[in-house]
Structure 1
Amino acid sequence: MLKTRPILLQCAEMLILFAALMAVDHGFLKGDAFSDLNPNPYWLPVLIMALAYGTGAGLAAGAIASAIWFRWSNLWPGPADHIEQQLRLSIQPMLWMVTALVAGEVTASRRNRIADQERRHQAMDRNWKKLADVIARLTATNRKLQVRIATEQRTVVQTIAAGLGLAQPDPESQVDAVARMIALAAQTEDFTFYDVRGSQVIARFGGKAAPGQPPDLTRSPMAQTMMAAPRPLRSDRAVDQALVAPFGLLAVPVPDGEEALAAIILIHSAAGARMTEAYVAQLLQVADLLGKCPALFGRDQSFAAKWLVPEGKVA
């Protein structure tokens, strides 16, 4: 876009032009506003200002040139017809003003077209930037979807493998399968599985990222609350925060066949996972599935002696 000069700078340029012409006129010529020259040099400021700055500057220059012309021009040294003299005296200023008006409007129209083109160019630049941002977001989304699809495919395979592990006869394989199922549902290895027997809450096993010494939940308000009314306790809810926050993010109850509390899955941390309703519902489904297999948790007397936790996963 064309830069608009300040009005004071325009006035200064105009005055310098007229001052230079007047200095030449009064210093080297007769000082009669170049009455003997045709075309008159005072056309220069009028044309320059009209072409450079538009109608307003051109008319101002025409007005100054006309004032100088009326003050110092000397077309007829002798007596002449008054009306004819006024007519001839007014022709030059009239031409200056008409030329300033026409040239100024042409300049203004040209500058407006250039300004419109510049605005359209800037709008196109903004649209290109927005389009580039949209393409970048779509590319990132596509990449995330590809990763998610690949991850989900891998998760399906891992879930099938974990399900097959539950069918193994030895307790160690079963515990490992349970741990893998919980890790897949929780999207983290930082968890601990607690078995509830009577009033005791015993840590049985944990994920690979679980702390070495699991917290004791037997006398904790969290365990007492879940034993009284089994329900998920979430640290992102104000009513549950004081109960869960000292131990982790989420406590999921594992019910037995009679809807009593059989175990607790405590999620200590889950980097990258969002605590949504779907996330909690998925863990509740896994907990319900595990609750339907009481033999896995050693509540059968014949199975209790065989309850062994694999090395490296004992809490």
Structure 2
Amino acid sequence: MTDLPTAEQPASPPAPRRVLGVRAIAWLEIVLFFAVVLSVDFLLLDGDRFWDVRPHPFWLIVILLAVQYGANASLVAALAATLALTVGNLPPPELGADVFEYWAGVGLRPALWVGVGQILGQMRDRELAERARLQTRIATLEHQNHLIAQGFEELKRTKSALEARIARQFRTVITTYRAAQSMDVTDGARLSRGLDQLIQSVLSPQKYSLWTLGPDGFELERTVGWKDTDSYERRLELAHPMVQHLLAREPALCAARPTDERKLMGQGLLAGALTDLDTGEIVGMLKIEETAFLDFNLYTLENFNVICSWIAAARIRARRWEQLQADRVTGANDLLMTAEVSERIYALLAQLGRRKGFSSSQLIVRPHDPDGLAPEQHSILALALGEAARTTFRATDLAFEREAEDAEYAILLPGTPLDDAEFLAGKLRDAIAQHLPASVPIDAVLIEARPIEETATPPIAGASS
């Protein structure tokens, strides 16, 4: 869980400068006040420092500092007023006056200044303390509000990032599913496209390469993202440490491990053998040369191992399918024989014809415009031809796929001269027309009779004529 962001406590304003616990500005106000008042007294008045004035002007500075700066400033003002009033300015005692009564009269005003100043000052101090406490509380609350707002924004960003990550993972799952579907094929070109889509969706590499295993090591099959300036090797001999490691069926090499990095020798970040989990057969290698920093982690290594096994299984399955298809006698619709079988039968029939002195012919069936027919129309034509050959011709007449990509077919007519074959061409056209739907008109089909010698393969080496 991500911790909420923290922020520094907002800086409080600098504390005012103090001298002996009293603000410096209070000292300045006291000095200025007594300088002005005493100057007026000495220059314009009697110079007795307002001894007989009621109320005394010094009350002004005492009360002002008490209500403005508190008890300490008021005490200083009262002491300054006392000194300013009494130092060198005490009136002589009257004859016969009581001493205690004299000093009580002298000290009454200073005592009142101190007492009243302290009362007002303490009230001001309490008010200032309460205000400071409230300011601290407000600052704390503002700081907390700032943290809450910042945490809310961080949660919003985290929420948006999680939503984007979930959406990206969902798209990755869909892409991986589609890539897996595209890999479940037997055609080599479609399988290659499916492999690229699978690698890109799961691993997101910037540069990678696929290799095949040969007798001398790994041979480069295909690269993605490579540039002409890259110095990656195009062939890895058996003596290469990477090849020896992978052929020993060791785990995939990862540049994050120092021992593996020495074996990779700067040739990539990840390298793994394409190994079939069932048989242990190694069919090649997948190597990632460059990827984003955030995509190079433990999960990437685990996914990389799965992808290597997946690719190996798909390639082995496609190879076995090709071997099975090469051994098939009939094509996909089970009505026409494959072109591979037709080559062997043509050669055998040509040799028999030369030995026994009989001629054979064939009917070539193809559309006028192969590119003008959709794939399903090609399949319809093949089915119609197979049905027509089965119901119209002899059991010895064989129908073959001649050129699968161009939808070209042939019907072998053993022991049939070319003239008879041309007659059978019209008969075949009528039979095909009965099995074709309206979407494939018979006029789009071309049927041509040819002698077998034109397309027969050379005789088998060593055969006697």
TM range (shorter): 0.7 to 0.9
1:242 pairs with 2:258: no
- Are the counterparts in 2 of residues 254 and 261 from structure 1 also a CA contact under 8 Å? yes
SS at match of 1:196: strand
The letter for the 2-side match of 1:140 is R
Classify the secondary structure of the residue corresponding to 2:266. Answer: coil
* Corresponding residue of 1:43: 59
SS of the aligned residue for 1:252 comes to strand
Instruction: Please report the TM-score for the alignment, with normalisation by the length of structure 1.
Output: 0.84
Counterpart amino acid of residue 270 in structure 1: T
- Distance in 2 between residues matched to 1:94 and 1:202, nearest whole Å: 109
Residue 178 of structure 1 is matched in structure 2 by: 195
Q: In the alignment, is residue 147 of structure 1 matched against residue 164 of structure 2?
A: yes
Query: What per-residue deviation string (whole Å, max 9, x for no partner) do you get for residues 69-113 of structure 1?
Result: 223555677332221111121111111111222222222222222
Aligned-residue offset at 1:68: 2.2
Looking at structure 2, the residues matched to 176 and 283 of structure 1 have their Cα atoms a distance apart, in angstroms, of 18
- Assess, with a 3 A threshold, how the Cα gap between structure 1 residues 53 and 200 changes in structure 2: closer, same or farther: same
Q: Spell out, residue by residue over 1:238-277, the C-alpha distance to the aligned partner (whole angstroms, 9 max, x if none).
A: 2223333622322233223443543222112222533222
From 25, 28, 31, the equivalent of 1:12 is 28
Residue of structure 2 in register with 1:263 after alignment? 284
Change (3 A) 1:91 1:245: farther
Match of 1:61 among 69, 72, 77: 77
Specify which structure has the bigger relative contact order, considering alpha-carbon pairs within 8 angstroms and separated by 6 or more residues: 1
- Percent of aligned positions with the same letter in both sequences? 21
| 2:58 maps to 1:30 | no
Query: 2:247 matched to 1:230?
Result: no
CA distance in 2, matches of 1:169, 1:228: 29
Distance in 2, Cα, partners of 1:27 & 1:18? 14
Asked if structure 2 preserves the Cα contact closer than 8 Å seen for 1:217 and 1:223, the reply is no
CA distance in 2, matches of 1:100, 1:232: 88
2:236 aligns with 218
Whether the aligned pair in 2 keeps the contact of 1:253 and 1:261 (CA below 8 Å) is yes
CA displacement, residues 181-207 of structure 1 (integer Å, 9 cap, x when unaligned): 111221235211122234411222233
CA offsets, 1:211-259, max 9 Å, x none?
Answer: 4676335134323332235212222222223333622322233223443
Residue 200 of structure 2 is aligned to residue 188 of structure 1? no
Q: 2:147 corresponds to which letter in structure 1?
A: K
| CA pair 15-217 structure 1, distance change in 2 beyond 3 A | farther
Cα distance between partner residues in 2 of 1:290 and 1:32: 113
Distance 1:217 1:104 in 2: 94
Distance between the aligned counterparts of 1:229 and 1:170, measured in 2?
28
With over 3 angstroms needed to count, the CA separation of the structure-2 counterparts of 1:55 and 1:238, relative to structure 1, is farther
- The partner residue of 1:202 within 211, 214, 219 is 219
**Contact persistence 2:176–2:202 (CA under 8 A):** no
1:41-66 residue CA offsets vs partner (Å, 9 max, x unmatched): 11122222222322222111111111
More helix, by proportion: 1
Structure 1 segments of 4+ aligned residues over 4 angstroms from their partners = 72-77, 296-301
Equivalent residue in structure 2 for 1:123, among 122, 140, 163: 140
From 278, 283, 287, the equivalent of 2:304 is 283
Cα distance between partner residues in 1 of 2:166 and 2:117: 72
What is the 5 A alignment of 1:285-304? 285-295=306-316, 302=323
Three-state SS of the structure 1 residue aligned to 2:284 is strand
Max radius of gyration: which structure? 2
Equivalent position to 2:104, from 55, 65, 87 = 87
SS at match of 1:151: helix
Q: Which amino acid counterpart does residue 196 of structure 2 have in structure 1?
A: A
Does the CA-based 8 Å contact 2:204-2:295 persist in structure 1? no
Q: Secondary structure at the match of 1:263?
A: strand
Instruction: Pick the aligned partner of 1:111 from 104, 107, 128.
Output: 128
Equivalent position amino acid for 2:32 in 1: I
- Note if contact 1:33-1:72 (Cα within 8 Å) is conserved in structure 2: no
Contact 1:55 1:100 in 2 (8 A): yes
Larger mean CA deviation between 16-25 and 153-162 belongs to: 153-162
Greater shift after overlay, 226-235 or 39-48? 226-235
CA 1:238–1:133: 2 relative to 1, 3 Å = farther
Q: Is the 8 A contact 2:186 2:321 kept in 1?
A: no
**Alpha-carbon distance in 2 for matches of 1:38, 1:103:** 20
Q: Secondary structure at the match of 2:291?
A: coil
- Secondary structure of the 1:194 match is strand
Distance between the aligned counterparts of 1:217 and 1:131, measured in 2?
60
Structure 1: give runs of 5+ residues left out of the alignment.
306-315
Deviation at 1:19, TM superposition (A): 1.3
Amino acid across the alignment from 2:47? G
Give, in whole Å, the separation in 2 of the partners of 1:113 and 1:173: 81
Q: Which runs of 5+ in 2 are unaligned?
A: 1-12, 327-465
Say whether the 8 Å CA contact 1:171–1:296 is kept in structure 2: no
SS at match of 1:218: strand
Indicate yes or no: 2:273 matched with 1:253. Answer: yes
DSSP 3-state at the match of 2:210:
strand
Q: Distance in 1 between matches of 2:136 and 2:292?
A: 47
- Would you say the 8 A contact 1:193–1:203 is kept in 2? yes
**C-alpha distance in structure 2 between counterparts of 1:64 and 1:203, whole Å:** 100
